[in-house]
Amino acid sequence: MGLALLPTIVSTATLAIASRNIGATKASVLGVFEPITAIIVGTLMFGEPLTTNIIVGISIAMVAVTFMITVTKR
């Protein structure tokens, strides 16, 4: 329960702060990196396997975020 509740509270609070400081669009783009962070923590701390499919998925997400940041001129 603690592993689910505390990260949810921290994530929601930091998203609200980020939205105020950098704007909702940029904060939502940065939110794409949250699952990537979870995968990295799971692999390093809990010994979860890092498969080729996961690496390809991370790469696609990072390319998409980079594309959105560079193409969007807002």
For residues 19-29, give the mean pLDDT: 84
Contacts of 50 (CB under 8 A, 6+ apart): 39, 43
Give me the torsion for CA of 18, 19, 25, 30, rounded to 10°.
Answer: 20
Contact indicator for 61, 32 with CB cutoff of 8 Å: yes
pLDDT-derived band at 31, boundaries 50, 70, 90: confident
pLDDT given at position 73: 66
pLDDT given at position 51: 95
Contact indicator for 35, 65 with CB cutoff of 8 Å: no
Structure-token pair, residue 6: 């505390």
Answer whether residue 1 shows pLDDT above 80.
no
Tell me: the pLDDT tens digits for 47-58?
Answer: 999 999 999 998
